[in-house]
Structure 1
Amino acid sequence: MWKPYVDLVHAYFPNTELIIDKYHFIRQVTLAIENERKMSSKSIPASLRKYYKQSHKLILCRYAKLKDDNKRACDLMLLYNDDLRLAHLLKEEFYDISVRIQVFMSAIEWVPKEPHPKLDKEPLKIE
């Protein structure tokens, strides 16, 4: 989250707990991956540097949604830099966790708050 905003919130609302939503977290992940991609492109041969610039969106896309030829291109980009590969892996894991949390929250909302009126309130007796 933007540091001046955090400082402002703490100054005027000292007892407030900051909560970072998914959008802001994804934004930070994207910025981190882009910064790592830019730094790593400086240490690779010029022929590959051009390739990094032209296909940087491959690293930001969900890997599972890429077509096979784009997956190979993404794999090639990740092959040259351990830090970029780690950043990409962490991004993918965050998205996977995020999806699981959404499914869990949907399941919680689905569970009725009150027992269904047609269900027996007495436990079943097994003879």
Structure 2
Amino acid sequence: MTSCPCGFGEAYDACCGRYHRGEATPPTAETLMRARYCAFAYGDERFLAETWHPDTRPAGPLADPELTWTGLFITGHTGGGLLEQAGTVEFTARYRRADGSSGRVRETSRFVRDHGDWRYLGSV
């Protein structure tokens, strides 16, 4: 069993893997945040592009192959629930570079529903 990088403690296939394979859609903004983190960890460009709002999605590669993501910590959220249309998720994500150095990203991400599905809009 491979644990899911998102931190829920479940096996990847039963957790974020089902979203990456298109078998389910993330029901909340936080769930999408976790699935996107996993997509960065696995270099899943397709999932990252599909879940990035088209109005803010950059052109070109979305994942950096020089980074190994080593931990995700959700530190807060507003909205983003099952019946809501917008929300934010505050997190810290740790990484290690190919040269051995490490770092972290702290962000409050904005999410909106687009045709019923959650999409990453950008950071606050």
Task: Please classify the TM superposition score into its range, dividing by the shorter chain length.
Answer: under 0.3
How high is the TM-score relative to the length of structure 1? 0.26
Higher strand share: 2
Higher helix share: 1
Where relative contact order (Cα < 8 A, 6+ residues apart) is larger, the structure is 2
